[in-house]
Amino acid sequence: MREVNLAGVDLNLLPALEALIRRRNVTRAGEDVGLSQPAMSRALARLRALLDDPILVKTASGLAPSARAQALLPQLAVALDRLGEALRPGGFDAALLERTFVLASTDVHSLLLGPPLLANLRKLAPRAGLRFVPIAADVRERVDSGDIDIVFAISTAPLPPGALSEPLALDRSSLITRRGARRSSGPWTLEEYAARDHVTVSIFGDRQSDIDAELAAAGLVRRIAFTTPHFLSALAAVGSTDCVTTLSAALARRFADAFGLELHESPLRAPAFETTMAYSAARANDPGLAWLRARLREAAAEAFGIRG
């Protein structure tokens, strides 16, 4: 690999390089950095010569970053942020922040954290934006590449190599019913719980869960009447039927009046869980992301009312 002479590097090529690797498309990368398609193509040719690497290679599904480009992306994102801060008088200034943060989440987090977070950004960083995307099977690779800034998870989820996480909020799993759907009073038993038809949430299409395992250990089986990838639609389904569901108490409280819901203590074990935010260790010192994480802690304190 040829050594790069830093004295001869045009710094204007670095934003173009980051956009090309992230976007994997010459035209869209050019739009990100304000270059026409021909100008971006010329920049790509100069970068290939500078790095002695193709950077983007043709595949059956379109352009893909080379192995070296893929490894460069998280380091490049941090370097550009640090360079921008070093050249900006007075250090980091959120009011001058111009970037769109990408957060992978379920609808629980986009519903509970998105509005207060956006309201905060509108006041403190009006040029910044938010983009919530679904949690998909490739989320680990996208966090590692820098395509996703933060992914929300629970503390028991295993972290991929090179990832860090921070606690964000405490929540509880509550048993949710339609108001008036239960005529008896007192604590729910596992037998009563299993006898009801259930609404479940499945993010990756999996059917079995810890709930089914706990019921099976007690010799019980539940009937699942409705499965959805969205927590809000699960609440809506329960609000219009005699089915039950078990999910985030914070979310259920937020929409209890809208859907006519009641929250009950769950008969299941260990209903409390901790929500975390995970991100690439390579970008831990990114000042923009550090600032966003602080705003997320504030939004969590408002939305969950348990931990900021």
Nearest to 234 by CA among 222, 250, 221, 252: 252
Please indicate, yes or no, whether residues 249 and 175 belong to a single structural domain of this protein: yes
Number of separate domains in the chain: 3
- pLDDT tens profile 200-257: 999 877 666 889 999 999 999 999 999 999 999 999 999 999 999 999 999 999 999 9
pLDDT of residue 307: 39
Q: Which two tokens stand for residue 103?
A: 């957060």
49: containing domain: 6-87
Per DSSP, the three-state class of 227 is strand
Residue at 289 is within a domain: yes
What is the identity of the amino acid at 130?
L
- pLDDT tens profile 177-204: 999 988 788 899 999 999 999 999 998 7
Please indicate, yes or no, whether residues 16 and 147 belong to a single structural domain of this protein: no
3-state helix, strand, coil in the chain (%, to 5): 45, 20, 30
Classify the C-alpha dihedral 2-4-8-11 as positive or negative.
positive
Q: What is the torsion angle, in degrees rounded to the nearest 10, for the CA atoms of residue 48, residue 18, residue 276 and residue 232?
A: -110
What is the identity of the amino acid at 44?
L
Residue at 73 is within a domain: yes
Tell me the C-alpha distance between 143 and 77, whole Å: 12
Tell me the C-alpha distance between 214 and 39, whole Å: 60
- Asked whether residue 306 carries a pLDDT value surpassing 50, the answer given is no
CB-based contacts of 199, cutoff 8 Å, min separation 6: 224, 225, 226, 227, 228, 234, 237, 238, 241, 243, 244, 245
Among 4-18, 151-165, 261-275, top mean pLDDT goes to 261-275
Reported as a pLDDT band with limits 50, 70 and 90, residue 1 is: very low
Whole-structure pTM value: 0.69
Last residue of a domain, one of 21, 55, 87: 87
Residue at 182 is within a domain: yes
Q: Are 215 and 192 in contact (CB under 8 A)?
A: no
Q: Can you name the residues that pair with 211 across neighbouring β-strands?
A: none
End-to-end CA distance of the chain: 47
Residue at 243 is within a domain: yes
Q: Find the mean pLDDT for residues 33-39.
A: 86
Number of helices (H), then strands (E), belonging to the chain: the values are: 12, 11
Tell me the C-alpha distance between 37 and 54, whole Å: 18
Please indicate, yes or no, whether residues 149 and 233 belong to a single structural domain of this protein: no
Please indicate, yes or no, whether residues 179 and 262 belong to a single structural domain of this protein: yes
Please indicate, yes or no, whether residues 148 and 106 belong to a single structural domain of this protein: yes
- Asked whether residue 91 carries a pLDDT value surpassing 90, the answer given is no
pLDDT of residue 9: 66
CATH no. for residue 123? 3.40.190.10
- Asked whether residue 41 carries a pLDDT value surpassing 70, the answer given is yes
Q: Which of 38-47, 50-59, 127-136, 278-287 has the lowest mean pLDDT?
A: 278-287
Reported as a pLDDT band with limits 50, 70 and 90, residue 308 is: very low
